[in-house]
Amino acid sequence: MYPGVHAAKNPDKPALIKADTGEVVTYAQLEERSVRLAHVFHDAGLRKGDNVALLSENSLRYYDVFWATMRSGLFLTAVNFHLSLEEQLYILRDCGAKVLIVSAEQADAARAILEEVPDLGLKLVFGGEIEGYDDFEAALAGASDVPFEVQPAGADMLYSSGTTGRPKAIQVALPDRQISEPGDLMVAVFGGIYGFDEDTVYLSPAPLYHAAPLRYVGIVGATGGTAVIMPRFDPEQALINIEKFKVTHSQWVPTMFVRLLKLPDAVREKYDVSSLKIAIHAAAPCPIEVKQRMIAWWGPILQEYYAATEAAGVTLINSQEWLERPGSVGKGVLGTVRICDESVPDRPELPVGETGLVYFERDVMPFSYHNDPEKTREAQHPVHDNWATTGDIGHLDEDGFLYLTDRKAFMIISGGVNIYPQETENAMTLHPKVLDVAVIGVPDEEMGERVHAVVQVAPGHEGGPALADELTAYLRERIATYKVPRSFAFVDELPRTPTGKLQKRKLLDA
């Protein structure tokens, strides 16, 4: 389904609400605006398979653009506005964007882009004026509001955050269907399992340029619910919004849970969150104690999935299953999970319980990296070309439940022993004097590498030798001694993306 279906049934129903301003876009408005923008694209010469780029903070205009591309057989590239100009320029050139749509709040970047890429095609700005860009609202006003008879389904083409190098684009084949025809994989897998429907009120607290927020608000639009968009995550404001809008569904990353749990008890208990039916979380493994405390607070409504922007595969686990298997990210529902020995060239499959590289087996390889066949080959199994990996390490239990250990790229080898930083980080996460933590391997003459913790200290506390000793003693009670950091650094802030992903590469390169 798509907004037009719901516009015909419930034209005045809010499709989108901006949490901070109260701005509302109804289904009738969303349908008309996306139809008009589809005509703007067509009149500018775009045809099936062309690319539209969008550079904006969280805005309801995102979904004018999203649904216009989805009903025009186009690719949508949402550009992270926190990236450097060099990275943004790389993305625009690499994706071959024929249209760039920007928010006036991104004026500095928009002007710089225009200087570097003066021959970029159609350029539109909303929310204000930027020299060299045409007015978005004027373009819509001058376009037809009659839907095209043929409306081929489009897709997103999103780039990695660049945490491990230059951003790379994940490209899938365009669907062979019309926008009005069933077959959307996200709606089929997640919409059904999580019960998205016309009664859904979905809170989106994360940046919309990220895959999960962008796509899940799309699921809400496809199924007729209402999406409440926060400009950025703030723990207390999230609770305010749940109560105010009677939110039924939401999606989080573990760092958001940690921030929520670190609110004073009086603040957490102040707000009514009883409307919540489903609290989805993903993007990174959740520390066991964090998830236990969230379930104790919100009830057994937490639903976890493991996936990636590449959509190589998906695992799911509900609260009851997780309580029986703490730490698991679930069983495969899209693709079969395979654990392979990365130390052997042909990467044979490992027995149950053994740790190795996580692959998903699908009917065909579900994605490629745009303009990077070598990277695509690296993601494929050397023997089975329909098995794909994104570089995670884990193991399966006897019932087929997956447990993630860490990213292959961040494994520490100390004295010949493999150490996965995630376990140490998880153990430190809820220490009252730790606001954030990253564990990395640093060179060591004797051991090759040693475990090193970079700690962002909680307000009201001070880093230094005394805290290092306290954390060392705390960890020795919880994890094996060889996993305890041998050295500590205390910093004002750790490099995280707004989606909560830790940019370890910046720490490793420092």
The pLDDT mean for the chain works out to: 92
pLDDT of residue 162 exceeding 70, the answer is no
What is the CB neighbour count within 10 angstroms for residue 475?
20
Query: Would you state the structure tokens that stand for residue 385, as one six-digit string?
Result: 């070309």
Per-residue pLDDT tens over the stretch 314-332: 999 999 999 999 999 999 9
How confident is residue 502, by pLDDT bands cut at 50, 70 and 90? confident
pLDDT the model gives residue 83: 85
Tell me the average pLDDT across 416-426: 83
pLDDT the model gives residue 203: 98
Q: Enumerate the β-bridge partners of residue 253.
A: none
pLDDT the model gives residue 165: 56
- Residue 194, in any domain of the structure: no
Total tally of structural domains belonging to the chain: 2
Which amino acid, 233? F
Per-residue pLDDT tens over the stretch 284-317: 778 899 999 999 999 999 999 998 777 788 999 9
In order of 14, 176, 251, 425, 468, the CA distances from 64 in angstroms are 14, 22, 22, 40, 50
Contact partners, residue 406, CB within 8 Å, separation at least 6: 392, 393, 420, 421, 422, 423
- Residue 52, in any domain of the structure: yes
pLDDT of residue 184 exceeding 60, the answer is yes
pLDDT the model gives residue 264: 94
Query: Would you state the structure tokens that stand for residue 208, as one six-digit string?
Result: 């919309």
pLDDT the model gives residue 119: 83
Distance CA 280, CA 316 (A): 10
- Residue 118, in any domain of the structure: yes
Tell me the average pLDDT across 105-134: 95
How confident is residue 510, by pLDDT bands cut at 50, 70 and 90? low
CA atoms in the 13 A half-sphere facing the CB of 341: 11
Q: How many Å from the N-terminal Cα to the C-terminal Cα in the chain?
A: 48
* Least confident range of 51-60, 345-354, 404-413: 404-413
pLDDT of residue 448 exceeding 50, the answer is yes
CATH number, residue 72: 3.40.50.12780
pLDDT of residue 487 exceeding 60, the answer is yes
* H or E segment to which residue 115 belongs: helix 107-116
- Residue 384, in any domain of the structure: no
pLDDT of residue 351 exceeding 90, the answer is yes
| Domain of residue 65, residue span | 3-169+208-221
More confident residue, 413 or 274: 274
pLDDT of residue 499 exceeding 70, the answer is no
CATH number, residue 489: 3.30.300.30
How confident is residue 243, by pLDDT bands cut at 50, 70 and 90? very high
The DSSP 8-state label assigned to residue 467 in this structure reads H
